Chain A
Amino acid sequence: MSQIVIRVDDLSKRYRVGERERYLALRDVLMNTLKGLLGSVGQRQRLDYFWALHHISLDVREGEVIGLVGRNGAGKTTLLKILSRITRPTAGYAELHGRVASLLEVGTGFHPELTGRENVYLSGAVLGMKNVEIRQKFDAIVDFAEVGRFIDTPLKHFSTGMQMRLAFAVAAHLEPEILLVDEVLAVGDLEFQKKCLGKMQDVSNSGRTIVFVSHNLTAVNALCRRSVLIENGEIALDGPTSQIIAAYHLRSSEGLSDRNNLSKRKRTGTGTAIFAALSLQPLDSNGDRASLTRTGSDLVIEVVIEARSELVDSNVAITIYDGSGYRLVDINLNQKGEFLRLRSAEKARVKFLVRQLFLKPGAYLLGLWLGRNNIEEIDSIPYAASLEIAPESETGVHSVEFPGPYQCRFETSISCFEESRAR
């Protein structure tokens, strides 16, 4: 086990409601003081507080890349801001061991009137690089940013993309032991995002510790083994990223553990017919009921559909997503040439037998869709249930996690030979 480099102990941050709003006018303060003097003492204590973070404790070990996920306003950024010393906690403490750099924004410290070259120096200094260091890395930064001959042009004449590339190039060449990153990948085109991800991966492979906040769950999934779900200023879950993300999806659709209760799930569609129930039944290799869905096992997915008015020639689809929301499986009635027709108030049980689901162990999400292809969406539940895939067998050959969702059956053979010298 490597050593702890970030320790957060019982950390809390309190804001006065309204304090975060832009700025106070002196008038308000005077009025409040006046009110305070005139009003009763009890009135003065009616100050409204809001805990942005509440009793957060967290240890991060050296070389770990940890993702912070959660809804907007959950407290992720506040935590990052405390760790990067932008704001102070109200209670508790945090300890960071090593050189810290924080990247809460792409282009921190950039000035539009200055040239690209000048901005590299300025931004580098703001992010904590020494002058010598910037000078040494200057060429590498310009190369990475691909701005070449524009480097001596004022930044305001750069395209947005060029500004972004230059900004990230500076940030990418920071060499801290601890890197705190917020949401910076949410900008830029796809290619740029890929490049940033690649660079971040390099950083994490070199043994540095990264705390990464993002709504881009694909990025979190790709970068972080461990994630922490923050809800209402508290740590809700802490564990392997795939599980955390699956849980996050489910929680964000407000459904709790109750798999059969679909009524609380986030859904869209006309609602003339709805999914009323869902059940999953894994089968073992003999076709008997099993308790766990394992890699390669068969799975029976059963849904009950309730028509509220007449349902004509409709399609029912089951989708399976990985933790980042990427669709891995889409199976539906139409693929088998079947349609669902129901009279008003009639119910139907639709059963899918999924043969040999070769998904790697981990957490996945199951989505349901009812509608007429390209005509109307009647009921769609993108995240209806989570699907846990357990390792194939107790012997656990595949228990080591390799990236990628699909586990095909495969054989291997090795034959040793020497290059024939006679040829």
Chain B
Amino acid sequence: MNAKYDFVRHSTVLRITPPGRWWALPFKEIWEYRELLYFFVWRDIKVRYKQTAIGAAWAVLQPLMTMLVFSLFFGRLAHIPSEGQPYPIFFYCALLPWMYFSSALQSATNTIVENQRLITKVYFPRLMLPLSAVLSGLIDFGISFLMFGLMMIYYGVRPTISALWVPAFLLLAVLTALGVGLWLAALNALYRDVRYVLPFLVQLWMFASPVAYPSSLVPERWRLLYGLNPMSGVIEGFRWSLTGRGKAPGGLFFVSLGAVLIILLSGLAYFQKMETTIADVV
């Protein structure tokens, strides 16, 4: 292959080769496509509440209704300990990250299949899809967070300095949703079974996380294992940082952090490996 030929000296040269090393993550490319990411997020947000009567109010209603149901059944009837907080605050505080996580996870999982047409017709880093799914959920989170502010005022709960930690816990929730979402999105492209497993998985996961109960109910010797579920760290973190009550997450948080990193990195690697064939199999 040393035939002499001249190429036009263009700034962009693209070489298309068989799939190579899948662990080479295309961070540079993702940066180049950042505008598309913005458009995907923008599309998801625009489309979400189109042709609904009450629009973005759903973002508040869903956690609010769930909170009411929880307060009634787990609170009033089952008398779950709430660490001395009003039940609405106790549950809503956990539902904030949980609702975000479950909806972000579900949309990330389905994003490859839903955008099948796009994937088979045009190139862009496929990572954009789960990434945008996870990011666009933050808008709903923001709206329901405002609602929480009103509730805090109503119940006279004062935020403390620890509230500054909320973004960190939120980031942890985003990364968890992204990491698991990457795995499930790639698997879903291959096996549509994932679609049927997902609602079940989310439901089980909720009971494995301290949404409807405080993590103090979990026996001490199981704590470490419990911490492997990153959402337990996130939710405990939210409760602590927003209400200033309960224990600051210590060891549990770091176990969660480690678990997230492992899930995220392996998810990225698996997704990258799948990306090269995704248009052929989806």
Task: List residues of A whose CB falls within 8 A of some B CB.
Answer: 2-5, 7, 9, 15, 19-20, 23-27, 29, 59, 62, 81-100, 102, 104-105, 108-109, 111, 113-114, 118, 121-122, 125-127, 130-131, 154, 177
Task: Select one of B5, B18, B42, B189 contacting A4, CB under 8 A.
Answer: B5
Residues on B with C-beta less than 8 A from A154 are 50
CA distance A17 to B270 in the complex (A): 24
Q: Closest CB-CB distance, B29 to chain A, in whole Å?
A: 11
Task: Verify A85–B123 contact, CB threshold 8 A.
Answer: yes
Q: Closest CB-CB distance, B30 to chain A, in whole Å?
A: 15
B39 interface residue per 8 A CB criterion: yes
CA distance A301 to B281 in the complex (A): 53
Query: A25-B193, A87-B279, A90-B18 are known contacts. Are A97 and B122 too (CB-CB below 8 A)?
Result: no
Residues on B with C-beta less than 8 A from A93 are 15-18
Query: A93-B15, A93-B17, A114-B46 are known contacts. Are A19 and B123 too (CB-CB below 8 A)?
Result: no
Task: Verify A127–B279 contact, CB threshold 8 A.
Answer: no
Task: Verify B122–A127 contact, CB threshold 8 A.
Answer: yes
CA distance A365 to B19 in the complex (A): 44
B124 interface residue per 8 A CB criterion: yes
Task: Verify A3–B121 contact, CB threshold 8 A.
Answer: no
B104 interface residue per 8 A CB criterion: no
Task: Verify A88–B19 contact, CB threshold 8 A.
Answer: yes
CA distance A41 to B189 in the complex (A): 29
Query: A23-B190, A88-B277, A95-B13 are known contacts. Are A3 and B35 too (CB-CB below 8 A)?
Result: no
Q: Closest CB-CB distance, B6 to chain A, in whole Å?
A: 5
Task: Verify A125–B46 contact, CB threshold 8 A.
Answer: no
Query: A4-B6, A24-B191, A81-B279 are known contacts. Are A100 and B14 too (CB-CB below 8 A)?
Result: yes
What are 20 A-to-B residue pairs whose CB atoms are below 8 Å?
Answer: A15-B280, A23-B189, A23-B190, A25-B193, A85-B14, A86-B122, A87-B277, A87-B279, A88-B276, A94-B16, A95-B14, A97-B7, A97-B12, A100-B14, A109-B118, A111-B47, A113-B50, A114-B47, A125-B36, A126-B39
Task: Verify A23–B282 contact, CB threshold 8 A.
Answer: yes
B10 interface residue per 8 A CB criterion: yes
Residues on A with C-beta less than 8 A from B15 are 93-95
Inter-chain residue pair count (beta carbon < 8 A): 135
Q: Closest CB-CB distance, A247 to chain B, in whole Å?
A: 27
Give the residue among A2, A26, A84, A131 with the most B Cβ atoms within 10 A.
Answer: A26
Task: Verify B8–A108 contact, CB threshold 8 A.
Answer: no
Task: Verify A86–B190 contact, CB threshold 8 A.
Answer: no
Residues on A with C-beta less than 8 A from B43 are 111, 114, 118, 122
Residues on A with C-beta less than 8 A from B35 are 125, 130-131
Task: Select one of B39, B189, B280 contacting A87, CB under 8 A.
Answer: B280
Q: Closest CB-CB distance, A325 to chain B, in whole Å?
A: 28
Give chain B interface residues in 179-210, CB to chain A under 8 Å: 189-193
Give chain B interface residues in 228-282, CB to chain A under 8 Å: 276-277, 279-282
Task: Select one of A15, A29, A85, A96 contacting B191, CB under 8 A.
Answer: A29
Give chain B interface residues in 96-149, CB to chain A under 8 Å: 117-124
Q: Apart from A4-B7, A97-B10, A108-B118, list 18 A-B contacts with CB within 8 A.
A: A3-B8, A5-B8, A7-B5, A7-B7, A19-B281, A89-B16, A92-B18, A96-B13, A97-B9, A100-B14, A108-B121, A109-B118, A109-B122, A113-B47, A125-B35, A125-B36, A126-B118, A130-B35
CA distance A24 to B274 in the complex (A): 14
Task: Verify A5–B123 contact, CB threshold 8 A.
Answer: no
Task: Select one of B13, B46, B190 contacting A24, CB under 8 A.
Answer: B190
Residues on B with C-beta less than 8 A from A20 are 280
CA distance A195 to B47 in the complex (A): 32
Q: Closest CB-CB distance, A396 to chain B, in whole Å?
A: 30
B2 interface residue per 8 A CB criterion: no
Task: Verify A84–B122 contact, CB threshold 8 A.
Answer: yes
Q: Closest CB-CB distance, A172 to chain B, in whole Å?
A: 16
Query: A81-B279, A125-B39 are known contacts. Are A89 and B122 too (CB-CB below 8 A)?
Result: no
Residues on B with C-beta less than 8 A from A2 are 8
Task: Verify B122–A108 contact, CB threshold 8 A.
Answer: yes
Residue of B nearest to A78 (CB): B280
Task: Verify A122–B39 contact, CB threshold 8 A.
Answer: yes
What are the nearest 8 A-B pairs in CB distance? A85-B123, A125-B39, A98-B10, A94-B16, A113-B50, A26-B191, A3-B8, A96-B14
Q: Closest CB-CB distance, B97 to chain A, in whole Å?
A: 28
Residues on A with C-beta less than 8 A from B192 are 23, 25
Q: Closest CB-CB distance, A336 to chain B, in whole Å?
A: 54
Task: Verify A85–B12 contact, CB threshold 8 A.
Answer: no
CA distance A83 to B16 in the complex (A): 7
Residue of A nearest to B187 (CB): A26
CA distance A82 to B123 in the complex (A): 10
For B16-42 the 0/1 string (1 means CB < 8 A from A) is: 111100000000000000011001001
Give the residue among A81, A84, A104, A125 with the most B Cβ atoms within 10 A.
Answer: A125
CA distance A20 to B118 in the complex (A): 17
Residues on A with C-beta less than 8 A from B193 are 25-27
CA distance A2 to B35 in the complex (A): 34
CA distance A97 to B15 in the complex (A): 9
B1 interface residue per 8 A CB criterion: yes
Task: Verify A118–B8 contact, CB threshold 8 A.
Answer: no
Give the residue among B9, B121, B276 with the most A Cβ atoms within 10 A.
Answer: B121
Task: Verify B10–A177 contact, CB threshold 8 A.
Answer: yes
Task: Verify A84–B123 contact, CB threshold 8 A.
Answer: yes
Query: A88-B16, A104-B121 are known contacts. Are A9 and B1 too (CB-CB below 8 A)?
Result: yes
Residues on B with C-beta less than 8 A from A125 are 35-36, 39
